Structure 1
Amino acid sequence: MTLLTMGTFGDVRPFLALAYGLEERGHVVTLAGPENFEQYVRETYKRPYASLGLNSQQVLQSEEGRRWMASGDSKQFLKQMAKITHESRFALERDTEAACLDCDIIIAHPLQVFYACMLSEKLNKPLIIANLFPISPATSAFPHFLARSKKLPFGFLNKATYRLVNSVYEKGLRDDMNEWRVRLGGLRPLRGTLYNKLEHQKVPVMQAISPTLVPRPSDWADTVVVTGQWKIPARYVPEQEKAALPEDLKDWLDAGPAPIYFGFGSLPVLEPQKIIQMVMEISHTLQTRAILASGWSEMEMGGVPLPDSIRMISSANHELLFPQCSLVVHHGGAGTTHTAAESGTPAIICSTYADQPFWGERVTELGIGDHIPFPSLTKEKLLQSIRKLQAPDVRQRATEISKRIKMETGLTAALNFIEKQIPTAPVYKN
């Protein structure tokens, strides 16, 4: 089997879990993803990794990448994704084909769906889609997250947003895909809409999301399953990732009340000093402690020392840290959203792009969090949300949802689904 993924490490990690699980069941697996994670996976996890010709961190940390991510503009997001794919198309085409040549089935991340479909058709390989966020198939239960985050009043309008987004996205990729189809040989130009074909051909879809956070829509076909998160089995997690929190951080946590966690993951913060100043002012106003995680952003205070009530860290094990926090403020990535929900800690999602607004609306609807789009983030809005989420009934709901998520067995459900689909999963046909 070949597992194709793309994006940040939050997009690689679930596929790494899937690879370990499939290998334990006797399957031969090729894991392929962004080239910037090759060394990390090979050296830290000691397992093979096929590099696909794109450095996702380099893209996100570029000046242009930082601007379009921070804008929160979905149209700009689709445009930039098409541009990135276009500029890297020859390396991506070469590397994805090499990764899939000898496999018996292709399992693809949403950002690899077009490549996977072309290779499924050319190489006659069955296909399974693996979503880390509910991007497909279309549903009347909620809109496509790139169209809007809030539900529309009628189900057919929600469903229509998928056709709209898919048509825009496919239009940006069609010329490159048709060019590649010519080079692959024997493939006629694309016809119709790829996502419609995937539904009509009943290509299996796994949603690696919690059914507690996103109950399965009733209008999805039997070939679509909501499994729960895919977590790497503890026996494969490297010791440095299983290690306890740093002693100095543990000492700081033990020395006072639970802090508010502020972290924006791989989101490049354009004006980090403004974020630091905002955290300092909120901490002072609420007389609370705070942890500020810089992630990929280069946060500096310009030589001004932080008060003892604020701790800045580059990163930390969220599974260990979040339960010790009173509140989590984060960017809204799928992985961080699930981890916060499982910890039982209320969360404020400050979203910018892709599926982040969707998760912001989900935690709001469940009553365990709030949503503030990052471009409109202010100290006043953040203070209002924090005070709202400090209510005892919010913590009680968060605790109840945490218990339900902890009972889910996402990886096992995914493995069972894959093995059930192997005999019947279709080859994509144009």
Structure 2
Amino acid sequence: MRIALPLAGTRGDVQPAVALGVELKGRGHDVVIGAPPNLVEFATRAGLKTKACGPDVQKLYESDEGQRALASGSTFKLMPMVAKQMAEYADRFDDEMIDVCSGADLIVSTTMTEDRGQSIAEAMSIPLISLHTFPCRKNSKYPFPNGLPAQWSPPGPVNSATWVVAENVRRVVFMKYLNKLRAKLDLPSTRQSVAAALHRDGVPEVQIYDPVLLPGLADEWAGQRPFTGFLELTRATREAVGELADAHDDVLSWITAGPPPIYFGFGSMPIRDAATVVAQVDDVTRRLGQRALVSAGWSDLDRANAATGDHVKIVGALAHDIVFQHCAGAVHHGGVGTLFESLRAGLPTMVCSVSFEQPMWGTQVERLGLGSHVRFTKLDAATLESGLRVLLEDSTIEHARDMGAQLAKSAQACATVADIVEAHAAK
């Protein structure tokens, strides 16, 4: 069976689908990935046939405009910027997705490509599946991510209302571009939201995160949207893309020479003054009697000349599956991939959220007693120390350890999703 996976976004958006692609290829399927130009090499090195598809969102985030929008911590400042890039790239994106999906027997989309994927699947009369890395459909348990202040606990009808608003905004903003694609495909124009279209077509919406992180949601959806857990790369695939185990010998040697450190890594967050952040980490961990492992792959920090005490080690990007099992806690931006890795390792976690669904995950970390949450715009020495003290509490450590045991069940998530793909194709 030929399976197309048209993708868009950053590595965090693309990696889970690549993990699924590797599983499907291992089952003998002909898999083709559509990846943003900056991630074509990543997917290719994972062993998958890959074509360029969609704009380079990471390049947008790294621009001055993107960094200012990220630094504001507001999704509503980011969305117009992303929408503008998508609008400028729309015609080319349409053509690239059609090319990736041409000749496919089934399409696997993600939240960022499911609207185009639905129209292409309709035109080609083939099945479609969509992968969601966070709840992005109407429910009464949780509001639309970043739609309300994270600390609020609104009643069910208010939560549901935020989704109605969000789905209609998405429909109105992208309807013009979607109908241009439908015209290319000789399909009639539509005014339906993507959520309504997928529901009409019976498209499985697979939730590739664990329901224990969002209590009550799986019960409300009652099997309508299956939960599988996070899709992770195998160690062999990680090695293939460059996350070599033996490249961590120096780091592991430093870790084992003393008490387990707290990991600090902020992904693509906008740290314009990385030296100041590192100085705060150095000062706060020293006062708390902790060691700190700082992954500075997210900045242009001069690691060789950074002034820190012996209790701090600054390194580049790390393979979380290798390092986290040797740490005492983790501090990061709350992207679902990194969050899954830290919680699965049983680490008390501090989320320093920026935007999109990150504040939602940070709020859940706090509510479930797994750690602490602070908006990155509010991060300073005082909030960092307060958050780290929560991580060091016995109750937090115990809750995080219990969560790690539950998330270990996600090890079969790729196989579970692949089963869903094969079963849906057979209908």
Determine if contact 2:127/2:424 at 8 Å carries over to the other structure: no
**Given the superposition, is the C-alpha separation of residues 327 and 236 from structure 1 closer, same or farther in structure 2, using an over 3 Å criterion?**
closer
Determine if contact 1:342/1:405 at 8 Å carries over to the other structure: yes
Cα distance per residue 1:81-131 (max 9 Å; x no partner): 211211221221111110011111111111112221221222223221111
Determine if contact 1:267/1:296 at 8 Å carries over to the other structure: yes
1:385 aligns with 2:387: yes
| Equivalent position of 1:45 in the other structure | 46
| Equivalent position of 1:206 in the other structure | 206
**Given the superposition, is the C-alpha separation of residues 317 and 394 from structure 1 closer, same or farther in structure 2, using an over 3 Å criterion?**
same
- 2:422 is aligned, of 412, 416, 419, to 419
Mapping for residues 24-423 of structure 1, pairs under 5 Å: 24-42=26-44, 44-135=45-136, 137-148=137-148, 149-150=150-151, 152-182=153-183, 184-215=184-215, 216-220=217-221, 222-238=223-239, 240-244=242-246, 246-300=248-302, 303=305, 305-408=307-410, 409-423=412-426
Percent identity reads: 27
Q: Aligned equivalents of 2:396 and 2:43: distance in 1?
A: 38
The alpha-carbon deviation at position 190 of structure 1 amounts to 2.3
Q: Aligned equivalents of 2:190 and 2:273: distance in 1?
A: 43
Q: Aligned equivalents of 1:118 and 1:200: distance in 2?
A: 13
Q: Aligned equivalents of 1:423 and 1:233: distance in 2?
A: 27
Q: Aligned equivalents of 2:375 and 2:267: distance in 1?
A: 15
Count residues with an aligned counterpart: 421
Determine if contact 1:141/1:217 at 8 Å carries over to the other structure: no
The alpha-carbon deviation at position 158 of structure 1 amounts to 1.0
The alpha-carbon deviation at position 242 of structure 1 amounts to 4.6
Cα RMSD after superposing both structures: 2.1
The alpha-carbon deviation at position 362 of structure 1 amounts to 1.5
Structure 1 residues 56-65 or 234-243, which shifts more? 234-243
Determine if contact 2:179/2:190 at 8 Å carries over to the other structure: yes
Question: Aligned with 1:400: secondary structure?
Answer: helix
Structure 1 residues 23-32 or 63-72, which shifts more? 23-32
Question: Aligned with 1:10: secondary structure?
Answer: helix
Q: Aligned equivalents of 1:263 and 1:387: distance in 2?
A: 18
Cα distance per residue 1:148-181 (max 9 Å; x no partner): 3356431121111111112222322222222333
Cα distance per residue 1:383-409 (max 9 Å; x no partner): 112112211121111111111111232
The alpha-carbon deviation at position 264 of structure 1 amounts to 0.5
Q: Aligned equivalents of 2:189 and 2:272: distance in 1?
A: 41
Structure 1 residues 415-424 or 99-108, which shifts more? 415-424
Q: Aligned equivalents of 1:200 and 1:83: distance in 2?
A: 29
Determine if contact 1:276/1:301 at 8 Å carries over to the other structure: no
Letter of the aligned partner of 1:411 in structure 2? Answer: C
Question: Aligned with 1:422: secondary structure?
Answer: helix
| Equivalent position of 1:428 in the other structure | none
The alpha-carbon deviation at position 34 of structure 1 amounts to 1.0
Runs of 5+ unmatched residues, structure 2:
none
Determine if contact 2:140/2:159 at 8 Å carries over to the other structure: yes
The alpha-carbon deviation at position 80 of structure 1 amounts to 2.0
The alpha-carbon deviation at position 225 of structure 1 amounts to 0.5
Question: Aligned with 1:89: secondary structure?
Answer: helix
Determine if contact 2:294/2:312 at 8 Å carries over to the other structure: yes
Q: Aligned equivalents of 1:244 and 1:330: distance in 2?
A: 24
Runs of 5+ unmatched residues, structure 1:
425-430
Letter of the aligned partner of 1:196 in structure 2? Answer: A
Determine if contact 1:203/1:223 at 8 Å carries over to the other structure: no
Determine if contact 2:328/2:348 at 8 Å carries over to the other structure: yes
Question: Aligned with 2:213: secondary structure?
Answer: coil
Question: Aligned with 1:405: secondary structure?
Answer: helix
The alpha-carbon deviation at position 301 of structure 1 amounts to 7.2
**Greater RCO (CA < 8 Å, at least 6 residues apart):** 1
**Given the superposition, is the C-alpha separation of residues 402 and 196 from structure 1 closer, same or farther in structure 2, using an over 3 Å criterion?**
same
Determine if contact 1:143/1:151 at 8 Å carries over to the other structure: no
Query: TM-score, normalised to structure 2's length?
Result: 0.92
